[in-house]
Structure formats: C-alpha cells, structure tokens
Amino acid sequence: MKILMLTWEYPPNKVGGVAAHVEDLSKTLNEMGHDITVITFGDKEESEVRDGIKVHRINAKEGPDITSWVLMSNHRMQKKGAELLKEEDFDIIHAHDWSAVTAASSLKEIADSPMIMTLHSLERSRVGSIHSEMSKLINDLEWYGSYEADRVITVGEDIRDEILHHFSVPEEKLHYVPNGVFAEKFQEGEFIRDEIALDWEVPVLFVGRLCHQKGVRHLIQSIPKVLEKKPEVKFIVAGGGGGVEHYRNMAEAYGVGDKAYFPGFVPDEQLIDLYNSVDATVMPSVYEPFGIVALESMASGTPVVGSYVGGIKQTVVHEWTGLHVEPANPDSIAWGIEKAVSDPAWNNWMGKNGKKRAREKFTWYKVANETLEIYERALG
C-alpha cells in the first residue's frame, strides 16, 4: 500500500507528540512492506530518505500568526503533494491534526483516494473553551477535517467521545487507536543517577512542554508539600515550550528552586537515561488526549504518577503500574509522589508491571495493524 502522510512536525523537528507518533507509525508500516511518503514543515524545501521513509519538507517560515502560517504552509504542502501525484499514485492520504487539513482535503480530491484524519487533541479542550477568533478557526478546521475524512482516528477514548459529541461525527466513522512504544529502546538506557542527584536524593521526573495543559503549575505547587514529608525528593522538570523561565521563577518564589532542576528540552537518548535513573515519572496534566510519556516511562520500568484524565486513564493502572491522582490538585499530586517513592520494593514491583504492560499492550506493530484495518475499510 502507498500512503501519503501529512504532518506539521516530523523529526528532527519535534514540538509535541505528533512527530514521534507519525515517525514511529511510518517506520513500522515501512517495515511491514508498505511505501510511506511524508510531507512536513521545514525551514526550506528539501527531500531526504530517513529510515526508509521518503520525507519532503516544504518551506514553512512563520507568518504573522499561527493560523496564517499554517494555512500558507498547507498551500505549499498541497503543491508538493500535487507534484508527487504527477509521478505516483497514493492509496491513502493520512493527515495528522488540524494543521494539515486543508492540504489533505485538496489532495484527497486530486488523488481520488480516501482521506484518513488522526486527531491527537482538540482546541476546545487544549484552551478550555473557544474564546477567540483564532481558537474558532482552529476548531472549525478540526470539524472540517473530521467531516472531509473518510475515517477519523483518535489516540484516546475521551477524545473520541469529545469528537462524537462536539462534531457530530457518525460513530461508525470513528476509531480509537492508542499510541505505541518501541519498548526495547527504553530498556537500553544508562543509569545516570549520580549525574542528576546527590547520593541521598530521590529523583522524580517530569517530561513535556512547559505549559498550562501539562499541569506544571500544579506540580510546582505540590513540591513544598512533598518536601515536608520527603525532603530527599528532587524534581527534574524536563521540557521546552517557552515556559522554562516562567516556571523556574515560580519554583524560586515557592522556595523550592534548589529542589527543582530545569534542563530544558532533552534529546531522546538522554531522556531514555533519565527514565532509567529516577524513582517515578509524574504527569500532572489537566488535559492529555493520550500521553506518550506514560508509555515511555512504563517501558523503562519506572512507575507513573499521573492525573486521572484522557489517555492516562487507559495506560496507567492504579496501584499496579503507577498511581492516579486528581488533576489540578497539588495535595493529590503530592500524595501520589510520596506514596510512589516511599516503598522501594513496591515501586520496583510497579515498574516491572508497567514494563510488561507496555511491551504486551502498546506495541507499534499492534497500532500499525489496527491502522491498516482502517485503511482497508476506507478503501472498501
């Protein structure tokens, strides 16, 4: 099968989880014998073969605002897709999120091929409500993508229900397919505990964009509460997103600046080492359609303390592979962290359970097979 993927981010350009999802799905489908082409945003127009995947980057220099930038870049994605269609046919056009909708809907008509839409999150839940013209446009593009697509894939059950309710998408058109993880990759990390903590400290890890959606504010508010009972805990708050200085200053204001280390964005290879060197990973998200960090941590054998929201409800099993806590509740987050690190034997047991669950339930081959079934249904 020949598949054309459209995505605004693709490695090495990584901002959120979409890049990793598209790359890992594409690599797995390629290994299964399918021909994958990706069109994505870049700093200039260029093409390469990356891990067997044909990757075409269009010139996507920023515009006056995010919607203008995305719509302009979609025009260029459409142009590149039309050029490719002069040379070859594609069985499936697969768009990822609202940022590829207009290009995908046009290429669907040019190619006369089914369009698949994967929605990784929704604007109304990311920002709380549709409160601005920009949010309304993004919301409308999400609706338009779900309308134009022959099949809609969601990465979580909660977001599936949101789409069903808000966009009135026919239930038979919607499919829940979770993210996957290459579990073996996360079992190869080095133990670097002495590089991130003193010998008496217990490191706890946060990974993600430093923004409201990820609940970073609530995590920092929980730190003094944790330290009251467990002064040996140290927090590594890893991630970019423009909020590093804001949250570092917030930690200083709460008097815990010396117990919260902000390394910024961490490359994959270093991140694997971190997962393998901490006692727990904390995910205090207020909105999390899936949460790939939970799978990566579990695959590393590290328990997860995660908010009972979105995809975390499906990946983390309470008191088996980690602990669920209440979102936006610093007291509950502190309770979960304290409990996770208080009993090393139980912590190790949860880590082993998580590693087994990630390896058996969330493989990319399982995800790829389920995606192929959806492709085949769309093709009739």
Residue 68: the pLDDT is 85
Local confidence band at 271 (pLDDT 50, 70, 90 cut-offs) = very high
| Mean pLDDT calculated for residue range 193-200 | 92
* 153 φψ region: left (φ > 0), alpha (ψ -120 to 50), beta (else): beta
Residue 63: the pLDDT is 74
Instruction: Tell how far CA 153 is from the center of its chain.
Output: 15
Percent of residues, the chain, with pLDDT higher than 70: 100
Rounded distance, CA 205 to CA 15, Å? 19
Residue 310: the pLDDT is 92
Residue 47: the pLDDT is 96
Domains 2-180+363-379 and 183-361 share a fold: yes
Domains of the chain by residue range: 2-180+363-379, 183-361
Local confidence band at 111 (pLDDT 50, 70, 90 cut-offs) = very high
Residue 240: the pLDDT is 84
Residue 71: the pLDDT is 87
Class of domain 2-180+363-379: alpha beta
Residue 61: the pLDDT is 81
Fold of 183-361: Rossmann fold (3.40.50)
Local confidence band at 16 (pLDDT 50, 70, 90 cut-offs) = confident
Percent of residues, the chain, with pLDDT higher than 90: 87
Report the amino acid identity of residue 103: A
What are the residues whose beta carbons fall under 8 Å from the beta carbon of 60, sequence distance 6 or more? 8, 41, 42, 43, 69, 72, 73, 76
Residue 242: the pLDDT is 79
pLDDT tens by residue, 124-148: 888 777 888 889 999 999 999 999 9
Residue 351: the pLDDT is 97
- Cβ contact 288:324 at 8 Å: no
pLDDT, the chain, mean: 94
pLDDT tens by residue, 21-67: 999 999 999 999 999 999 999 999 999 999 999 999 999 887 778 88
Residue 131: the pLDDT is 83
What are the residues whose beta carbons fall under 8 Å from the beta carbon of 171, sequence distance 6 or more? 164
Residue 89: the pLDDT is 95
pLDDT tens by residue, 313-334: 999 999 999 999 999 999 999 9
Phi, psi of 153, rounded to the nearest 5 degrees? -105, 140
In this predicted structure, the answer to whether residue 76 has a pLDDT above a threshold of 90 is: yes
